[in-house]
Amino acid sequence: MGILNGKDFIDRLNQLQNEIWYDGNKIEGNISEHPAFKGLLQTKASLYDLQIAPNIKDEMTFFHEGKKDPIGLSYLQPRTREDLKKRRKMIEHWARHTHGLMGRSPDYMNTVIMSFASSASLLNGMENCFPENIQSLYERAMEQDLSFTHTFITPQVNRSQINLGFSDVPISAKVVEKNEKGLVIKGARLLATQGGLTDEVLVFSAPRLFFDPDEAFAFSISSNTKGLRFICRESFVLGESLFNHPLSSRYEEMDSIVVFDNVLVPWDRVFFYNNVDASTDFITQSSFHAFAYHQVVIRQIVKTEFILGIAQILVETINVSEYQHIQEKLSEMIIGLETMKALLEKSEEDAKTDEWGYMRPSIIPLQVVSNVFPKIYPRFCEIIQLIGASGMVTLPTENAFQTNVRRDLDLYLQADSKNAEERVKIFRLAWDLTMSSFGTRQTQYERYFFGDPVRLASNLYRQYDKRKHVEAVYNFLNL
């Protein structure tokens, strides 16, 4: 079939009847009608509809050799710099539609699947590795335009460096049995964004110091696999009013704990298992990071543009553009945005064909963004708060504007160039982005998207080629 539209996405998801627990209840009936998920799923449906939108569908799809129907362009394996630019364009379309606020827009996971397939050969001939299953996942995903989430964070029992994390009862999900049908998995993963709200779950492990072979696996299974359970956090949807909660009503993605209660993973779904080296190499040497970072950075740029737009509107609304410290704060945002754009372009300009023939963006500029964005995004949210000041606090609701006190609000909440309703709308948006529970979760999400910031800095330092600069100094000193 190729690309999916919004309605089909929702219908298919409703049929899956995934096991999702929310506030102590197992969700029954159509997930798309549940108040905590409704807004998000409608937004997601509208994203799928972009693929058939007449004005951009050509930029959202491509024709894959041997397939009749158009395929989502997020599945395109780039072989040229032009392909990379096409991918960028497509990612921008997805991102613009949600202003960069949806971390798990479909293109993200599609890109991950594409990168896995592009590097599958890396596993050829390695023990307990089934690269062919990656390829068939890629085919299946393309043809059915499957939706995915992934999960790789292990439970946080003890983060001490000297804690090996072994325990009698499996806590972190691991292989507890291997039989003719497949692997049996028991344990948990923290967290899956949109866990239970997708067709499948891609499960793999992040390499680490003391890597238990039983955890060194990767596979993808249907979200409604028996024994697979998603336990949600509190929802940050506070109502359907776009006026009151313009962002959380549309973009609250939900996160869940993923429980594997003796889940059977059929052999044809297993990519590899019980192979620490393969597991480590596949994450660090495949094109996974390069392509995933590429998608993420594009989305973050769009988000930064959105936040800059909001900041500037606040400035104009209360007329503070003349203040030096305001100018400096806005220029901070501009610097952040332009820096990210330049680094993105450099990663594309410096892209190189990898050993399997795919055009891989240069990772260093993207790694730089991965070190920078987790710091500047929270700062930009802070800047929004500093501009809005006390105006961020006393914001009436949509209903207040439907009553007798509207007269008061119209008079006392008017702004320089905006009426009261417009002003409140603007400030509520600023508030929802930076101060609502939805907003602060977004901040935490961006802060940790790429992992522990301390480790990101170490990695950049270690992986960066410092040799030629060192040599230049030695030459200067005749050493």
Q: In angstroms, give the least distance from the CB of 409 to a second copy.
A: 7
360 forms beta bridges with 352
Q: In angstroms, give the least distance from the CB of 11 to a second copy.
A: 28
Q: Which is nearer to a second copy, 80 or 399 (CB)?
A: 399
User: How far is C-alpha 314 from the geometric centre of its chain's CA atoms?
Assistant: 28
Q: In angstroms, give the least distance from the CB of 338 to a second copy.
A: 5
3 state SS of 306: helix
DSSP string covering 375-400: HHHHHHHHHHHHHHGGGGT----TGG
Q: Which is nearer to a second copy, 15 or 390 (CB)?
A: 390
Tokens of 127: 């023990």
CB of 217 closer than 8 Å to CB of 205 = yes
| Closest to 148 (Cα-Cα) out of 92, 73, 101, 203 | 203
Phi, psi of 191 (to 5 degrees): -120, 165
Q: Which is nearer to a second copy, 74 or 367 (CB)?
A: 367
DSSP 25: E
Q: In angstroms, give the least distance from the CB of 34 to a second copy.
A: 15
The enclosing H or E element of 372 equals: helix 363-388
End-to-end CA distance of the chain: 66
Q: Which is nearer to a second copy, 145 or 215 (CB)?
A: 215
Q: Could you tell me whether strands 200-204 and 148-151 are parallel, antiparallel, or unpaired per DSSP bridges?
A: parallel
| Closest to 246 (Cα-Cα) out of 256, 235, 238 | 238
- CA distances to 34, 209, 441 from 239, rounded to whole Å, are 12, 44, 17
Q: In angstroms, give the least distance from the CB of 339 to a second copy.
A: 5
Q: Which is nearer to a second copy, 15 or 394 (CB)?
A: 394
Q: In angstroms, give the least distance from the CB of 150 to a second copy.
A: 14
Q: Which is nearer to a second copy, 215 or 255 (CB)?
A: 255
| Closest to 103 (Cα-Cα) out of 43, 57, 60 | 43
User: How far is C-alpha 403 from the geometric centre of its chain's CA atoms?
Assistant: 41
Q: Which is nearer to a second copy, 275 or 317 (CB)?
A: 317
3 state SS of 161: coil
Number of C-beta neighbours around residue 458 at 10 A: 11
Q: In angstroms, give the least distance from the CB of 254 to a second copy.
A: 10
Q: In angstroms, give the least distance from the CB of 106 to a second copy.
A: 20
Tokens of 365: 């500029």
Please tell me the distance from the alpha carbon of residue 125 to that of residue 439, in angstroms, as a whole number.
Answer: 46
Q: Which is nearer to a second copy, 181 or 417 (CB)?
A: 417
Q: In angstroms, give the least distance from the CB of 291 to a second copy.
A: 19
Phi, psi of 355 (to 5 degrees): -65, -15
DSSP 402: G
**Helices and strands (H, E) in the chain, number of each type:** 16, 14
Q: Which is nearer to a second copy, 181 or 352 (CB)?
A: 352
Q: In angstroms, give the least distance from the CB of 355 to a second copy.
A: 24
The beta strands (E) that lie in 337-457 are given as 352-353, 359-360
Q: In angstroms, give the least distance from the CB of 410 to a second copy.
A: 11
Residue with tokens 């990168």: 115
Q: Which is nearer to a second copy, 76 or 173 (CB)?
A: 173
Q: Which is nearer to a second copy, 231 or 283 (CB)?
A: 231
CB of 157 closer than 8 Å to CB of 301 = no
Q: In angstroms, give the least distance from the CB of 424 to a second copy.
A: 10
Q: Which is nearer to a second copy, 1 or 457 (CB)?
A: 457
Identity at 469, one-letter amino acid code: H
